[in-house]
Amino acid sequence: MRALVIALGVAALAALESGCAAPEPWVKPYERERLADPIMRLSRDALADKHREHVYDVRESSRGATGVQGGGCGCN
């Protein structure tokens, strides 16, 4: 019985390894040097960005989805 459980476990793992393979991250951490540079940030200076958003908010009807709360380039 124990041997059967081991065999089933190994078979299940093998199936997971091959059958349901998801794509690997194709940009490795050591390839993200350029992405970590400040010029690649979507929001570089919080106060200046806040002022610009305020200028737009007061004069335009469109609002939201500025992305200030999201972001992060995953460059760690």
Partner 1 sequence: MVATSPWVRLLRRVLARRPHHAVRASRLLGRTVVVGGALVAGAGVVHAVDLPEDRAEMMYHRYDGGGTRADGPALLIRKKVADRLSLTGSYFIDSVSNASIDVVTTASPYKEKRTEYSLGADYVYRDAMVSVSGTTSDEPDYKANTVSLDVSQEVFGGMTTVALGFSRGADKVGSRYQGFFDTAQHWRYRFGVTQILTPRWLMSVNLEAVSDNGYLGNPYRVAQVFGTTVLERYPRTRSSRAVKLRAVGDIGQGEQRAAIRGEYRYFWDNWDIKAHTVELGYTRYFGAQWLGEAFVRYNTQKQALFYSDNALSETLYVSRNKQLSDFNDVSIGAKGTYSVGRYADRFDVKLNAQYQFMRFRYKNFTDIRNGSLYSFDANVLELFVSATF
Q: Which residue from 1, 11, 21, 53 is in contact with partner 1, where contact means CB under 8 A?
A: 21
Tell whether residue 74 is a contact of partner 1 (CB under 8 A): yes
CB neighbour list of residue 76: distance below 8 Å, 6 or more residues apart: 29
C-beta of residue 42 within 8 angstroms of C-beta of residue 71: yes
Long-range contacts of 26-29 (CB under 8 A, 24+ apart): 29/76
Tell whether residue 42 is a contact of partner 1 (CB under 8 A): yes
Q: Binding residues for partner 1, per CB under 8 A?
A: 2, 5-6, 9-10, 13, 16-27, 29, 31-35, 37-40, 42, 45-48, 50-52, 54-56, 58-67, 69-76
